[in-house]
Chains A and B, each alone.
Chain A
Amino acid sequence: EAQVTQNPRYLITVTGKKLTVTCSQNMNHEYMSWYRQDPGLGLRQIYYSMNVEVTDKGDVPEGYKVSRKEKRNFPLILESPSPNQTSLYFCASRQTGGSEQFFGPGTRLTVL
């Protein structure tokens, strides 16, 4: 089944404790992206990657890092999480020339 998977789905952590949210897709998509969703703000892009080893900042990259060492994986790294990073995070992927972006199920992160 074609899908985007994220782990963990739920995470509660404390300020300053490094964490990684994994994202994997099995559709051989070149383009992958991370979004955060906050009430009243919709989805805002954090980082995106056009292909392996090619990443760029989205609208709200502060406090986040990403890497794209393999085509299928695009982990999101919070080196020192803060409470304002409490949010619902979505990973997405698509073909570079494709019309549909596929979303993962989301990761709900709470930073205390």
Chain B
Amino acid sequence: AQSVTQPDIHITVSEGASLELRCNYSYGATPYLFWYVQSPGQGLQLLLKYFSGDTLVQGIKGFEAEFKRSQSSFNLRKPSVHWSDAAEYFCAVGANAGGTSYGKLTFGQGTILTVHP
């Protein structure tokens, strides 16, 4: 069974500082990995995804993530955080179904990001 762990429940950073949100997954084959962001009172928005190829993926809003198979990790990074990045972030793993197809999507517990001015 696939699973995702986000070790940090809550992270606080200052505006302009760099950010790294951790994500560890468990899956028996090459996973499909996602990061979603949820602003207060909103639905989920896809930040970026990894299916195959280059292990460093670029997403929207200046975010990037790196897939490290040896560490079963897919950490999300941003070099300079803006106050508008304050939100909850979810890592998710999809069961590989070939091509760009995936089956069940399993989410981590989420990391709440607070940004201080």
Interface residue ranges, A against B (CB under 8 Å): 33, 35, 40-45, 48, 58-59, 90, 92, 96-101, 103-106
Contact = CB atoms under 8 A, between A and B. Distances in A.
Contact of A44 (B46, B101, B107): B107
B90 A97 contact: no
5 residue pairs, one from A and one from B, having the closest CB atoms: A97-B101, A42-B107, A43-B107, A103-B43, A103-B44
A29 to B, nearest CB: 13
Determine chain A's interface SS by DSSP, over half rule: loop
A98 B100 contact: yes
Given A99-B49, A99-B51, A104 B109 contact: no
Contacts of A40: 9, 109-110
Interface of B: 4, 6, 9, 32, 42-46, 49, 51, 90, 99-102, 104-110
A44 B107 CA distance: 7
A45 to B, nearest CB: 7
B43 A48 contact: no
A45 B104 contact: yes
B42 A42 contact: no
B109 A99 contact: no
B109 A58 contact: no
B99 A97 contact: yes
A8 to B, nearest CB: 15
B51 A42 contact: no
Contact of A105 (B42, B100, B102, B106): B42
B109 A41 contact: yes
